[in-house]
Amino acid sequence: MASHTTWQPPEPDQRGFTIERHILEGQRSAKGATGELTALLQQITLCTKIIASRVNMAGLADHLGLTGETNVQGEEVQKLDELANATLIRNLSRGGKVCALGSEEESEPVLPPAGYPTGKYVVLFDPLDGSSNIDVNVSIGTIFSIHERVSSGTTGGTVQDLLQAGVKQVAAGYVIYGSSTMLVYTTGQGVHGFTLDPTVGDFFLSHVDIRIPTRGKIYSVNEGNHASWAPGVQKWVAHLKTPSADKQRPYSARYVGSLVADFHRTLLKGGVFAYPADDKNANGKLRLMYEASPLAMIAEQAGGAATTGKQRILDIQPNELHQRVPLYIGSKEDVEEAVRFLEG
């Protein structure tokens, strides 16, 4: 991880701290911290609170949108994923802390508009992951990844600022819009989870220093793709389903189809999530920069692992913004076992 992290782990008595207080405590105890990362994380937090409130009203807004194309406040009704993307871009590009943004919804880097200040960070994000689940009220999420700019200059950044290996991330996190809304993030000093209290409108520290179990009992993969997997993947999944004398197997299957939801469960309960390469998707389906890399930083910070099957996710040097990778992520021993099967 980047050595210049500005965050320190909280004391146990920080449980119940607001996320703002938690971030500020981290800054307070970090030598040389300028407060810029703190401010950027606060901007991201605000965006996700806005998105959470819209996600909660999605059914109602869709209903109103069908009749008059405006909601009760007279606002134009947008699809949620467009709204999430626009919320992040509008707030972060004008917030003075970034020189460039990368969004899963945008083909090119987004730079701060003319006349707005730039900062020393870049943020990459998947504004609304699992969006095919919106209509059926299943958990969805926002994923973000923060790097320091590498190009010189004080104006807008370049694509090279965005194309950095995951190991150089300064911070990463996600928000899950589920039965409750939770924000989970790391700045390279452990993983911490906050739950949104909708009556107060703030995130409170609820999960201190999350550690992923070394081995779990759950596997998570779209088994509808079984016929188009490589033989090693097929054998691995068959192995997980085969009863063992020590009762460790068979594993239970869980697959939401929202990466954030499947990852969040894996982080808390252990086990493994995989989206392997298959005949349709030679490099898998998931995006390196917006999905695999930030979640890999979180998994490793929590004691887990993340790999393509051949390479540690965080070591991959990206060569394009929307690059895809196969992903095996979760409990260390489960991920290592998957790799042994893939290697044959």
| One character per residue 211-240, x = contact with ligand FDP (rule: CB under 6 A) | -----------x------------------
> How many residues comprise the chain?
344
Q: Which is nearer to ligand FDP, 286 or 306 (CB)?
A: 286
User: Does residue 257 interact with ligand FDP by CB under 6 A?
Assistant: yes
Cβ of residue 141: shortest distance to ligand FDP, in angstroms? 8
Distances in Å between the Cα of 308 and the Cα atoms of 43, 167, 237, 296 are 32, 15, 16, 11
| One character per residue 96-135, x = contact with ligand FDP (rule: CB under 6 A) | ---------------------------------xxxxx--
Element (H, E) at 42: helix 36-56
Cβ of residue 5: shortest distance to ligand FDP, in angstroms? 27
User: Does residue 93 interact with ligand FDP by CB under 6 A?
Assistant: no
Q: Which of 128, 157, 151, 118 is nearest to 40 (CA)?
A: 118
DSSP 115-154: TS---SEEEEEEEEETGGGGGGT--EEEEEEEEE--S-SS
Cβ of residue 137: shortest distance to ligand FDP, in angstroms? 14
Among 182, 196, 259, 321, binds ligand FDP (CB under 6 A): 259
Cβ of residue 6: shortest distance to ligand FDP, in angstroms? 30
How remote is the C-alpha of 37 from its chain's centroid? 17
User: How many residues sit close enough to ligand FDP to count as binding (CB under 6 A)?
Assistant: 13
Per the DSSP assignment, residues forming a β-bridge with 184 are 174, 193
**Tokens standing for residue 216:** 């779990």
Q: Which is nearer to ligand FDP, 26 or 284 (CB)?
A: 284
* 100 phi, psi to nearest 5 deg: -165, 155
Q: Beginning with the edge strand found earlier in the chain, give each strand of the sheet holding 327-330 in spatial order.
A: 252-253, 218-220, 272-275, 327-330, 305-307
The piece of 24-32, 34-42, 255-263, 297-305 that touches ligand FDP (CB under 6 A) is 255-263
Which residue reads 């999350």 in tokens? 210
Cβ of residue 325: shortest distance to ligand FDP, in angstroms? 11
Torsion 99-105-107-113 (CA) sign: negative
Burial 320-340 (b: 16+ CB within 10 A, else e): ebebbbbbbbbbbbbbebbbe
Q: Which is nearer to ligand FDP, 290 or 341 (CB)?
A: 290
Distance CA 305, CA 312 (A): 8
Q: Which of 61, 62, 53, 8 is nearest to 202 (CA)?
A: 53
Q: Which is nearer to ligand FDP, 291 or 300 (CB)?
A: 291
Q: Which is nearer to ligand FDP, 129 or 148 (CB)?
A: 129
Q: Which is nearer to ligand FDP, 232 or 257 (CB)?
A: 257
| One character per residue 261-290, x = contact with ligand FDP (rule: CB under 6 A) | -x----------------------xx----
| One character per residue 129-168, x = contact with ligand FDP (rule: CB under 6 A) | xxxxx-----------------------------------
Q: Which is nearer to ligand FDP, 40 or 259 (CB)?
A: 259
Q: Which is nearer to ligand FDP, 104 or 300 (CB)?
A: 104
Q: Which is nearer to ligand FDP, 37 or 329 (CB)?
A: 329
User: Does residue 258 interact with ligand FDP by CB under 6 A?
Assistant: yes
Distance CA 61, CA 54 (A): 8
User: Does residue 323 interact with ligand FDP by CB under 6 A?
Assistant: no
**Tokens standing for residue 238:** 């068959």
Q: Which amino acid is at 3?
A: S
Sites of contact with ligand FDP (CB under 6 A): 129-133, 222, 257-259, 262, 285-286, 291
